[in-house]
Amino acid sequence: MQQVKKGNTIKVHYTGTLREDGSQFDSSIGSEPLEFTVGEGLVIFGFDNGVINMHVGEKRTIEIPALEAYGPLNEHMIFEFDKKDFPADLGEPEIGIQLHMSDNEGNELPVVVAGIKEETIVLDANHPLAGKDLIFDVEVVEIVA
């Protein structure tokens, strides 16, 4: 029986949950399986390594620490933005909403409103799963020829 190796293109179904409370953050169930080439860095490191040596039809639970997922929470990516500079057409900022900012080179940066102070808005540019340990239930559906 063929095993998944680096360089194989595979299709998997998965369900991702947070280790801390078991809440689901993503799943491919009910849609097309995820297709990627193992070892090319197209998925997080812990997921990439976790599927190696699996067989088609095999199911596995992969526990991925934050450092092998989206990395630690970076405090330098949490910053304050003057309320007076907040675009009026966006309305009043609310905690939890996602916004898009541009840097000096025109690159788009997604941020989440993490807090609202009297004069400033606290924005967080970390990936929403940064600093979180993850659990994936994975099933290899196909090793693409």
Domain extents in the chain: 9-71+129-144, 75-124
Give residue 53's pLDDT.
97
Distance CA 110, CA 101 (A): 6
Query: What is the signed CA dihedral for 7, 13, 14, 15, rounded to 10 degrees?
Result: 170
Instruction: State yes or no: pLDDT of 107 exceeds 90.
Output: no
pLDDT digits (tens, 9 = 90+) for 43-93: 999 999 999 999 999 999 999 999 999 999 999 999 999 999 888 888 888
Three-state DSSP at 46 gives helix
pLDDT digits (tens, 9 = 90+) for 7-33: 999 999 999 999 999 999 999 999 999
Give residue 137's pLDDT.
98
Fold match between domain 9-71+129-144 and domain 75-124 = no
Distance CA 140, CA 145 (A): 14
Q: 9-71+129-144 adopts what CATH topology? A: Chitinase A; domain 3 (3.10.50)
* Top CATH class, 75-124: mainly beta
Six token digits for residue 122: 């606290």
Give residue 1's pLDDT.
78
Please, which pLDDT band fits residue 102 given cuts at 50, 70 and 90? confident
| Spatial contact of 24 and 16, defined as CB atoms under 8 Å apart | yes
